[in-house]
Structure 1
Amino acid sequence: MPVTHFRVRWPDQRETLCYSPSSVVTEHLEAGAAYPLPVFLDRARSALNQASERVRRRYGFACSAAQDQLDVIEATAARFAGQAGATVTVLAFER
């Protein structure tokens, strides 16, 4: 369950390095892929929730850092919610 960081580019071209406590995120997002904002949010939620559950199964408690990262992703995405055609690009994974 290696920690995995993933770099994303938001619709305003800003880049963010995101955290996942598990490499499961690579099963939900693909490096180089551009996702419509709602699709990216669904995939990020699924990945980070699954990663947190993997931590729970292994250590007996959920990963609060995964939830914190999801909160940041959702807050950032909210800025672009009304923007037609907004996409988020997953640039790379780092371990």
Structure 2
Amino acid sequence: MTAFLIFSFLVGAVLGQRFRVLVVLPLTFVLMLAAIPVGLMLDLTVVESLKDVVFAVIALQGGYLFGSGARFGLAAARAGRVFARPVNTAR
């Protein structure tokens, strides 16, 4: 379960770097569809399977938020270098 949560977080971070927020909705739906057969293979109850899906979706969205924040942070750092004002040293 922990490995799946880490993977979900990292996928969300990568998607946050490249895509807008609407990509999270279809991915959440795919994640829920994939969790049904996995829960059946692992002999989990429906409640345990839903709990795992909820945690995975939270990790996915947290990763997306982290990736999106990193994208804007890197863009702000790049803009500071590109549009830096020249310093007037002669007075």
Normalised-by-shorter TM-score class: 0.3 to 0.5
Structure number, greater radius of gyration: 2
TM-score (norm 2): 0.38
Higher relative contact order (CA 8 A, sep 6+): 2
More strand per residue: 1 or 2?
1
TM-score (norm 1): 0.37
More helix per residue: 1 or 2?
2
